Amino acid sequence: MTSLKEKIGYGFGDMSSSMFWKIFSYYLPIFYSNIYGLRLEDTALLLLVTRIWDAVSDPMMGILADRTHTRWGKYRPYLFWFALPFAVCGVLLFTTPAWGPTAKLVWAYVTYILMMTVYTGINVPYGAMLGVMTDNSDEKTVFSSFRMFFAYGGSFIALFAWEPLCNLFIGAGDSPAGGWQHAMMVIATACLVIFLLCFWLTREHVESKSTVSVGKDLRYLLGNVPWWLLIGAALCSNLFNTVRGSAAAYFFKDVVGPDAVLSLGSFSFLFYAGLFLSVGEVSNMAGVSMTVAITRMLGKKATYIATMAIIAGLSIAFFFVPCTPAGFWLMLVLQVLISIGTGIISPLVWSMYADVSDYAELRYGTASTGLIFSSSSMAQKFGSAFGGAAVMWLLSAFGYNTAAEAVQMESALTGLRMLMSWIPAAVALLSVVVVSFYPLNTVKMREIQAGLEARRAVSPDF
């Protein structure tokens, strides 16, 4: 059994990643379109192209990490090597140069591609560490739950603080662009420290060896049916989160409005996108804390299907909520319930990737943990790429106006409601269909673990 210190340390890694990832996913689109000055169409293409490159680079990083050998292990040293570049690139991403439109567009592409490349360099090995910190399937779910609990904790801090930090610097005399850059400096410094803590507190306990060529590793991966199905499910779950998250800032700006308040007796407070999203992160944490208990009762596959079906229904209900004081509370309640569901799904998917890795090791006789876990990051980024780009394209199709004081057409307002409800609900239902074909249920995983234990007993170097 691994120590509590290591579980907490492992959680710190995704805490740092998620602080960046949620700001990129939820605020970068509106930063590019409303502050940096890109057209919606240019923003959509930028998000798509850069994140597709980022997703394609993930398997390359997985192959490299699988073949890394140091005194610190295979995957862990990348946390130390990439922590500082990770922080620096985040600041560059939110830097607005005083250049012309074409030069600014080039800068946006260069800094975004650089940021996502560094993100891959640290996050793919971090994810693969789950496969070598323990060889017990149930404990992998526990590690995954710690990971996602801390991830949502980091997301809550970043999302709740982001708009106040930007406003603080702007109020102190910064331009909007300068305020966003300085806010990112604060977040980036915190992420640097947290990633270093992850490195210091964790260890690799299971030795895994990739014993075949890169070509065979890739061929085995492409022939791995559970991997394909899980890629589809992960793509859908990330697409669901990205669409709702990317649309939220626009939804609150133009549908809810800047002066909306939540009243509770004699108390009232501003109802803004950062509050809505950060409450979702806390609710995600509640969902994560339920994952282990629920999966032990229902199994991972059944838990995924039931949870995503419920999320789809709640998302549809969101469309019909009115923009009234009572409606604002109902929006928040639905956000809590939906986010509890996505909180259950996130660690579940990571744990299922660990199961796919065990399945591949038993079937093909070689461990390609980094390559398999890189695919999970690839699915996350494809979901983010298509989700972020789709939101921009749909906003343009709905007639959304990016001018600061623009009054939106009814078609744009309806489109924003759709982006928060029916569209992500359809994606959630698609994921239910995909996972219904996933073969690695509880009984099958027990057989796989027994087979691996028997093989390792005969050949300790396996």
SS3 category, 262: strand
**Angle at the Cα of 418 from the Cα atoms of 414 and 422, rounded to 5 degrees:** 145
Place of tokens 């019909």: 320
CB 297 within 8 A of CB 352: no
| Residues 54-66 as b or e (16 or more Cβ within 10 Å = b) | bbebbbebbbbbb
pLDDT score at 211:
53
The per-residue pLDDT for 426 is 95
> Residue for token digits 């290591």?
6
- Angstrom distance (rounded) from CA 189 to CA 181: 13
Q: Tell me, what's the pLDDT at 317?
A: 96
Fold classification of 4-458 (topology level): Growth Hormone; Chain: A; (1.20.1250)
Residue type, 345: I
The CA distance from 44 to 393, in Å, is 6
The tens-digit pLDDT sequence of the chain (462 residues) is: 678 999 999 999 999 998 988 898 788 888 998 889 888 888 888 877 877 777 677 778 877 888 888 889 889 999 999 999 999 999 999 999 999 999 999 999 999 999 989 998 998 899 888 878 887 767 877 887 888 789 888 888 898 889 889 999 999 989 999 999 999 999 999 999 999 999 999 988 877 655 555 666 667 666 778 888 888 888 888 889 888 988 898 899 889 888 888 887 778 888 888 889 888 988 988 998 888 889 888 989 999 999 999 999 999 999 999 999 889 999 999 999 999 999 999 888 878 887 887 777 777 666 566 667 666 666 666 676 777 778 888 888 888 877 767 778 888 899 999 999 999 999 999 999 999 999 887 787 788 778 877 766 666 554
Q: Give the residue carrying structure tokens 């990348």.
A: 78
Q: Can you give the pLDDT at residue 460?
A: 52
What's the pLDDT at 376? 63
Residue 261: φ, ψ to 5°: -130, 155
Cα gap 294→96, rounded to integer Å? 46
The SS3 of residue 365 is coil
Ordered by start, the domain boundaries in the chain are 4-458
Q: Is the dihedral of CA 96, 101, 106, 112 positive or negative?
A: positive
Q: Which pTM was predicted?
A: 0.70
Which residue has 């620096």 as its token pair? 88
Nearest to 120 by CA among 70, 90, 82, 72: 82
pLDDT of residue 354: 77
Q: What is the dihedral of CA 323, 329, 334, 339, to 10 degrees?
A: 120
Torsion (CA) 45, 51, 57, 61 in degrees, nearest 10: 160
CA torsion through residues 386, 392, 396, 400, sign: positive
Our measurement of the distance from residue 390's CA atom to the centroid of its chain's CA atoms, rounded to an integer in Å, reads: 17
Q: With contact defined as beta carbons under 8 Å apart, do 378 and 55 qualify?
A: yes
